[in-house]
Amino acid sequence: MPHLFRRLRSSNPASRLRNIAAAICLVMVPAMAPAQTIVALGDSLTQGYGLPAEDGFVPTLMHWLAENGHDVNIVNAGVSGDTTAGGLARTDWSLEPGTDAVIVNLGGNDLLRGLDPAQTRANLDGILDKIDAKGLPVLLIGLHSPVNFGADYQAAFNAIYPDLAQEHDALLLPDYFTPLVRDGRLDPALMQADGIHPNATGVKRAVEEVGPAVLKLLEQIN
Count other Cβ atoms within 10 Å, centred on residue 216.
12
pLDDT, averaged across the chain: 89
Catalytic residue among 43, 44, 110, 168: 44
pLDDT at 34: 62
Cα gap 141→171, rounded to integer Å: 8
Summarised one tens digit per residue, pLDDT across range 160-190 is: 999 999 999 999 999 999 999 998 899 999 9
Classify strands 181-182 and 185-186 as parallel, antiparallel or unpaired: antiparallel
| Neighbour order of strands in the sheet with 36-42 | 72-78, 36-42, 101-105, 138-141, 171-173
pLDDT, residue 96, reads 87
DSSP string, 84-103: HHHHHHTHHHHS-TT--EEE
How far is the CA of 119 from the CAs of 84, 102, 128, 145, 211, in angstroms?
Answer: 9, 22, 14, 15, 29
Q: Which one, of 187, 179, 141, lies nearest residue 43 by Cα?
A: 141
CA angle 133, 139, 145 (to 5 degrees): 115
Chain-centroid distance of CA 5 in Å reads 46
Active site residue 163: no
**Chain segment 187-203, per-residue pLDDT in tens:** 999 999 999 999 999 99
**Whole-number Cα distances in Å, 126 to 8, 28, 56:** 61, 47, 27
For the chain, what are the domain ranges? 1-30, 36-219
For the entire predicted model, the pTM comes to: 0.84
Task: Measure the CA angle with vertex 93, ends 92 and 98; round to 5°.
Answer: 95
Q: Give the pLDDT confidence score for residue 27 in this predicted structure.
A: 41
103 and 39 Cβ atoms separated by less than 8 Å? yes
Mean pLDDT of 94-101: 94
Does 116 qualify as catalytic in the annotation?
A: no
Rg of the Cα trace of the chain?
Answer: 23
Give percent of the chain with pLDDT exceeding 90.
81
Q: How confident is the model at residue 40 (pLDDT cuts 50, 70, 90)?
A: very high
pLDDT bucket at 155, cuts 50 / 70 / 90: very high
Task: Please tell me the class of the 36-219 domain.
Answer: alpha beta
Q: What is the maximum span of the chain, computed from C-alpha positions, in angstroms? A: 86
Spot the catalytic one: 43, 94, 100, 197: 197
Q: Confirm whether 80 is a catalytic residue.
A: no
Q: How many Å apart are CA 6 and CA 22, to the nearest integer?
A: 13
Residue 28: what pLDDT?
42
